[in-house]
Structure 1
Amino acid sequence: MAAQSHYEELARQLSAIGAVKRGLGRILPAECPAGSAAVLTLLGRHGEMRISRLTELLDVDMSVTSRHVQHVAARGWIERDPDPLDKRSRILRLTPAGHAMLDELGRRTAEMFARTLRDWSDEEVGQLNVMLARLRESFDCREVPLARTPAAQQA
Structure 2
Amino acid sequence: MAGQAQYEELARELSAIGAVKRDMGRILPQDCPAASAAVLTLLGRHGDMRMSRLAELLSVDMSVTSRHVAHVADRGWIERLPDPADKRSRMLHLTAPGQEQLDELSRRTSRLLADRLSDWSDDEVGRLVQLMTRLRESFGDCRATPQRPVHA
> How high is the TM-score relative to the length of structure 2?
0.91
Q: Does 1:84 align with 2:84?
A: yes
SS of 2:146 mapped into structure 1: coil
Q: What residue number does 1:149 align with?
A: none
Q: What residue number does 2:37 align with?
A: 37
Q: What residue number does 1:52 align with?
A: 52
Q: CA deviation at 1:75?
A: 0.6
What per-residue deviation string (whole Å, max 9, x for no partner) do you get for residues 44-82 of structure 1? Answer: 111110000000000011111101100100111111011
Distance 1:144 1:9, change over 3 A: farther
Specify every segment of 5 or more residues in structure 1 that has no aligned partner in the other structure, as ranges.
147-155
User: What is the rounded CA distance, in whole Å, between the counterparts of 1:94 and 1:141 in structure 2?
Assistant: 24
Identical columns (%): 68
Counterpart selection for 1:144 from 138, 143, 146: 146
SS of 1:31 mapped into structure 2: coil
User: What is the rounded CA distance, in whole Å, between the counterparts of 2:128 and 2:146 in structure 1?
Assistant: 25
Aligned residue runs from structure 1 range 56-75, under 5 A = 56-75=56-75
Aligned residue pairs, count: 146
Specify every segment of 5 or more residues in structure 2 that has no aligned partner in the other structure, as ranges.
none
SS of 1:91 mapped into structure 2: strand
> How high is the TM-score relative to the length of structure 1?
0.89
User: What is the rounded CA distance, in whole Å, between the counterparts of 1:85 and 1:128 in structure 2?
Assistant: 41
What per-residue deviation string (whole Å, max 9, x for no partner) do you get for residues 91-146 of structure 1? Answer: 00101111111100000000001111111111111110110011111112674339
Q: CA deviation at 1:21?
A: 0.6
Q: What residue number does 2:122 align with?
A: 122
2:109 partner amino acid: T
Distance 1:59 1:141, change over 3 A: closer
Q: Does 1:106 align with 2:73?
A: no
Q: CA deviation at 1:87?
A: 2.4
2:132 partner amino acid: L
Q: CA deviation at 1:6?
A: 1.4
SS of 1:17 mapped into structure 2: helix
Provide the alpha-carbon RMSD of the alignment: 1.5
